[in-house]
Amino acid sequence: MQTSFKLGLIGYPLGHSLSPKIHTAALRACGLEGDYSLFPIAPDDKQGLKDLLNRVRAKEIRGLNVTIPHKQNVIPLLDELTPTAKAVGAVNTIYLREDKLIGDNTDAPGFLSDLKKFLAESPSPFLGEGLGVRGKNALVLGAGGSARAVVHALANDGWNVTIAARRIEQARQLATFFTQHAPRDYTLSEVKGTQHKLQITNYDSLILHPSSFILLVNATPIGMTPNVNQSPWPENLSFPNAVIYDLVYNPRETKLVKDAHSQGLPATTGLGMLIEQAALAFEIWTGHNPPREILAASVDH
């Protein structure tokens, strides 16, 4: 009898999630039986989380994704974290291995993989020889859950990272966490005009960064539907001469990406990251590596 893969997503709210479409396409493309369900669990419903995780322990559910607001809430309920989940401090993928409930994070490798693909496809004056002039410096806007994955991925890939957050304390916490878990020797400082490997700055102080970075990553929800006319880049600042990666994927072209394109800059939304993190989770659960173009087509309308 063929194995049936029962998969799903924990979060709240889940109304607009694209994950069922992506994973259903992955199951079909790999010729597997199964389904992908939504499990909305309210932010303070700890018992609901426990009950669902027990269904993974009981092998009724093969694998779960986790999204807002539970990426950190699930950690105390798991037996082990993978090194990536530990380093990011958040879990987006859960599975059972040798009767242990494991928490992993595919957002970080999913982001990095899609970023690299995008950079390789984007002929840009800032990459190549420009990289030598301005250095591998990235600016990350936001210091929430996805910023953790992004900062971890960039740090691992040798980028110098500046985190800009409207609440400097949130950026400080994130940066402090990374200086403790960083893969290499990271020093932390607040921006004073000098170059450090990991810096934090207040959103209002972005003026301190004229053009020292070659990559801008938006890890805030600004510009997401229905607020499609908003951009995370402050209007009083000239647009950065950089490659732009916007994690927001709804709408398909955000104002930030439109503005960048209108200035001739390479820019993309986060749909590729969404596909990639899903594909990596799917492979962990099923052992099958799903074709990315079929997953992308499943959400392309």
Residues labelled as active-site residues = 71
Q: Cβ 228 to ligand NAP, closest distance in Å?
A: 12
With respect to ligand NAP, which residue has the nearer C-beta, 96 or 145?
145
Binding residues for ligand NAP, rule: CB under 6 A, are: 68, 107, 142-147, 165-167, 170, 203, 219-222, 224, 247-249, 270, 273-274, 277
* Peptide bond between residue 69 and the one before it cis (omega within 30 degrees of 0): yes
| Least distance (Å) between residue 272 CB and ligand NAP | 8
CB of 59 to ligand NAP, least distance (A): 28
Query: In this complex, which beta carbon is closest to ligand NAP, that of residue 52 or of residue 274?
Result: 274
Give the separation between CA 172 and CA 188, rounded to whole angstroms: 9
Nearest distance, CB of residue 98 and ligand NAP, angstroms: 29
CB of 281 to ligand NAP, least distance (A): 11
Q: Which is nearer to ligand NAP, 147 or 243 (CB)?
A: 147
The Cα–Cα gap between 155 and 237 comes to: 26
Could you tell me which of 104, 111, 215, 213 has the C-alpha nearest to residue 156?
A: 111
Q: Which one, 36 or 249, has the nearer CB to ligand NAP?
A: 249
**CB closer to ligand NAP, 139 vs 273:** 273
Partnered with residue 189 across adjacent β-strands are 199
Q: Are 150 and 173 in contact (CB under 8 A)?
A: no
Tell me which residue has its CB nearest to ligand NAP.
Answer: 144
Tokens of 3: 């194995």
Long-range contacts of 69-78 (CB under 8 A, 24+ apart): 69/11, 69/12, 69/43, 70/10, 70/11, 70/12, 70/41, 70/43, 71/145, 72/145, 73/43, 73/46, 73/49, 74/10, 74/49, 74/103, 75/103, 77/49, 77/50, 77/53, 77/101, 78/53, 78/102, 78/103
